[in-house]
A = this chain, B = another copy of it.
């Protein structure tokens, strides 16, 4: 088992990617192949003592930057850590590829360099949505702003397989994000998708309203990428604002500070529940290999967990399971079939 890793991706550069890789060795069984600037990565690796047989470097000379145009970057930066890694995934030199680089470029690269699974019209970003009850899965988290019902049905299947195989949820409850419980609610896209989901063999439990999304009542939240991205980022934003507000209240006066001190341990458990770095990565499902997008602001811990879940994903046979499931799909006639992506 070899997990490929973009050593140059993310806001904090190789100091965090390399530390994440070293720390991940304690959690995974396979090897890690780091793509990137050899001198930089080697000098970071030199700071740690670790089993050197399990981390190797594939030197690359270019970097896809955050402000690069996605498709152009993938086509022109042939020797970037991202492109070289994705090509290695296609050639099966590695079993998965994790990157915190430019999201648009990674999505375009997944399509152009790894290729989509036959029968999947649009690959989607599938992310863990932490709730007080554990973890739900949100798909699409932002790969496809505009969707057709067929796309959402595929997202539902892929999200359900991810919840089952990687998170370990038996018979995951699949729900459609919507503005009301009734099946007539929402835009035509959502009304039609609701009807189609009822006909599938998924454990479809109906619509889930915004108020219930964070409750953990459902396991898989299906949405178009515009809505999914708003859900994901808004949840982070609200949690961040509340935690900041709470800190401010604790620091307001002496009683508050003492109270905060007594609560310190309990509050750290609480923060952990809200912590997005616990899972660390969102797979791009629907391509011919496991491509995992790590958060741009990932620290070493987030990378460590992204690498851990990448290995779980490979071991679970997720990509093959999606391929097998798609093969059973009734042939749906929609305009998206054969449409040009990226």
Q: A residues bordering B, Cβ < 8 Å?
A: 131-132, 142, 145-146, 177, 179, 185-188, 190, 209-215, 225-227, 229-242, 244-246, 249-250, 252-253, 255-256, 258-263, 265-267, 269-270, 273-274
Contacts and interface: CB of A to CB of B under 8 A. Distances in A.
A266 B233 CA distance: 28
11 contacts: A131-B241, A145-B187, A210-B234, A211-B236, A211-B237, A211-B240, A227-B227, A242-B242, A250-B263, A255-B263, A263-B263
B241 A269 contact: no
Contacts of A142: 179
Given A210-B233, A233-B210, A266 B253 contact: yes
Given A238-B242, A255-B265, A259-B259, 14 more contacts: A131-B241, A179-B233, A186-B226, A209-B233, A210-B229, A210-B233, A227-B227, A235-B238, A242-B242, A252-B266, A256-B266, A259-B262, A259-B263, A263-B263
Contact of A249 (B241, B249, B256, B267): B267
A95 to B, nearest CB: 31
Contacts of A131: 241
A238 B234 CA distance: 9
Q: Which 7 A-B pairs have the closest CB atoms?
A: A210-B233, A259-B262, A210-B234, A259-B263, A249-B266, A211-B237, A179-B229
B238 A214 contact: yes
A252 to B, nearest CB: 5
A252 B227 CA distance: 36
Contacts of A266: 249-250, 252-253, 255-256, 259
Contact of A241 (B187, B215, B256, B259): B215
A227 B229 contact: no
Contacts of A146: 187-188
Nearest to A265: B255
A13 B215 CA distance: 28
Contacts of A274: 242
A272 B250 CA distance: 15
Contact of A211 (B227, B233, B246, B258): B233
Contact of A230 (B227, B261, B267): B227
Contacts of A262: 255-256, 258-259, 262
Contacts of A235: 210, 234, 238
A214 B187 contact: no
Given A146-B187, A250-B266, A230 B231 contact: yes
Contacts of A186: 145, 226
Nearest to A256: B266
A341 to B, nearest CB: 16
Given A210-B231, A237-B211, A273 B245 contact: yes
Counting chain B CB atoms within 10 Å of each CB, which of A235, A267, A273 scores highest? Answer: A235
Contacts of A246: 246, 270
